[in-house]
């Protein structure tokens, strides 16, 4: 039986005060779709839950030279937002693939990131969109690249006195496209066995001026594949697609578990990398005609 005391602050200062009052015994609660499961299964323990649900400043999506997504914005809100379109469409695609509609109305973007679960869907997409996380504490705010936020499974750079308050996604350049591909065993489960996010920026000739590739569920953290990015830069996709897929598969560091063997996950990465790059390339080409 879970025996936690629930606290519902209405502001960040009050939340910080509660975290300081119960050091090492308090956990921040967003949508609860990960944390409550972990508590029930005894994967983690907590004497106090500090809910962020009543802090209105943590909600919503704004257009600010890109996107600013409050950490308590739900996955369903991302899926439906008219702002998450065009160059940000890959983020909408990932949101649509996550879990069930009921879960998407509870789960939040901040929780999906801060839980640092290796199979989470949003981190790979946000990584190839060059997103930043905004962390608040009573001492001030700091930002960090999302790709640098994760340090291990369920581990991040967030300090105990900090709250993840927002995610910033910069406005992409012209001729940009991004895509997200994943494989799951069944729709009802909807946990990624392997996933790949890709983004491409084309030059006027159609060659790739910049590229990003990030793997999910096949390493302890969302894994950028910098070698692929270097191989693609300045070349055409049709010349490099097979090479990029092989490099990505070699870079993966999967484990074997009940959802698939390490060898199976590597094969998935090879296929999903091709799909993600082709889809990102198509979107980049379409954006050049807008």
Q: 36: domain CATH number?
A: 3.30.43.10
**Residue where one domain finishes, among candidates 170, 188, 223:** 170
Q: Give residue 290's pLDDT.
A: 61
The CATH number given to whatever domain includes residue 214 is 3.30.390.50
Same domain, residue pair 186 and 252: yes
> What integer best gives the mean pLDDT of the chain?
94
Same domain, residue pair 207 and 165: no
Q: Give residue 1's pLDDT.
A: 53
Q: Give residue 44's pLDDT.
A: 85
Same domain, residue pair 117 and 208: no
CA 166 to the chain's CA centroid: 13
Same domain, residue pair 166 and 211: no
Beta pairing class for 66-70 and 163-170: antiparallel
Same domain, residue pair 187 and 276: yes
Same domain, residue pair 281 and 182: yes
C-alpha separations of 177 from 68, 79, 86 in Å: 19, 18, 8
Beta pairing class for 48-51 and 176-184: unpaired
**Residue where one domain finishes, among candidates 111, 141, 170:** 170
Q: Report phi then psi at 194, rounded to 5.
A: -155, 150
Expressed as residue numbers, the domain containing 13 is 5-51
Q: Give residue 148's pLDDT.
A: 96
The CATH number given to whatever domain includes residue 64 is 3.30.465.10
Percent of residues, the chain, with pLDDT higher than 70:
97
Token reading at 99: 């879990």
Contacts of 290 (CB under 8 A, 6+ apart): none
Q: 156: how many CB neighbours lie within 10 A of its CB?
A: 20
Same domain, residue pair 20 and 98: no
Q: What is the mean pLDDT of residues 252-272?
A: 96
Q: Give residue 264's pLDDT.
A: 97
Judged against a pLDDT cut of 70, whether residue 273 lies above it is answered with yes
Q: How confident is the model at residue 20 (pLDDT cuts 50, 70, 90)?
A: very high
Same domain, residue pair 60 and 47: no
Judged against a pLDDT cut of 80, whether residue 289 lies above it is answered with no
Same domain, residue pair 41 and 78: no
CA 60 to the chain's CA centroid: 17
Q: Give residue 2's pLDDT.
A: 62
Q: Give residue 17's pLDDT.
A: 96
Q: Report the number of distinct structural domains present in the chain.
A: 3
**pLDDT tens string 154-200:** 999 999 999 999 999 999 999 999 999 999 987 545 689 999 999 99
Q: Give residue 157's pLDDT.
A: 98
Integer distance in angstroms from the first to the last C-alpha of the chain?
Answer: 56
Same domain, residue pair 194 and 277: yes
Q: How confident is the model at residue 40 (pLDDT cuts 50, 70, 90)?
A: confident
3-state secondary structure the chain: CCCCEEECCCCHHHHHHHHHHCCCCEEEECCCCCHHHHHHCCCCCCCEEEECCCCHHHCCEEECCEEEEECCCEHHHHHHCCCCCHHHHHHHHHHHHCCCHHHHCCCEHHHHHHCCCCCCCHHHHHHHCCCEEEEEECCEEEEEEHHHCEEECCEECCCCCCEEEEEEEECCCCCEEEEEEEEECCCCCCCEEEEEEEEEEECCCCCEEEEEEEEECCCCCCEECHHHHHHHCCCCHHHHHHHHHHHHHHHCCCCCECCECHHHHHHHHHHHHHHHHHHHHHHHHHHCCC
**Residue where one domain finishes, among candidates 170, 188, 205:** 170
**pLDDT tens string 227-237:** 999 999 999 99
Q: Give residue 36's pLDDT.
A: 85
Task: Say which range, 80-84, 153-157, 186-190, 274-278, has the weakest mean pLDDT.
Answer: 186-190
Same domain, residue pair 198 and 127: no
Q: How many residues does the chain have?
A: 290
Q: Give residue 189's pLDDT.
A: 54
Q: Which residues of 36-46 are buried (b: 16+ CB within 10 A; e: fewer)?
A: eebbeeeeeeb
């Amino acid at each position: 039986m879970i025996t936690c005391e629930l606290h519902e602050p209405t502001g960040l200062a009050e939340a910080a005060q509660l975290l300081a009052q119960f050091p090492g015994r308090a956990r921040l609660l967003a949508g609860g779709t990960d944390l409550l499961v972990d508590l029930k299964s005894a994967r983690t323990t907590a004497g106090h839950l500090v809910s962020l649900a009543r802090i209105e400043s943590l909600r919503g999506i704004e257009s600010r030279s890109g996107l600013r997504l409050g950490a308590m914005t739900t996955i369903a809100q991302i899926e439906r937002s008219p702002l998450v379109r065009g160059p940000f469409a890959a983020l909408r695609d990932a949101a649509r693939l996550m879990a069930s509609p009921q879960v998407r109305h509870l789960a939040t973007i901040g929780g999906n990131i801060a839980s640092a679960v290796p199979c989470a869907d949003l981190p790979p997409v946000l990584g190839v969109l060059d997103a930043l996380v905004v962390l608040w504490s009573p001492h001030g705010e700091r930002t960090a690249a999302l790709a640098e936020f994760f340090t291990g499974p369920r581990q991040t750079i967030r300090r105990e006195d900090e709250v993840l308050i927002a995610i910033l996604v910069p406005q992409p350049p012209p001729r940009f496209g991004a895509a997200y591909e994943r494989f799951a065993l069944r729709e009802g489960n909807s946990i990624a066995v392997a996933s790949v996010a890709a983004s491409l920026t084309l030059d006027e000739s159609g060659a790739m001026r910049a590229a990003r590739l990030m793997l999910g569920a096949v390493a302890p953290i969302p894994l950028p594949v910098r070698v692929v990015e270097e191989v693609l830069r300045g070349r055409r996709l049709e010349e490099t697609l097979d090479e990029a897929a092989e490099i990505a598969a070699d870079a993966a560091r999967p484990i074997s578990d009940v959802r698939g063997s390490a060898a199976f996950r590597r094969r998935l990465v090879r296929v999903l990398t091709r799909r993600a790059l082709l889809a990102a390339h198509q979107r980049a080409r379409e954006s050049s005609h807008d």
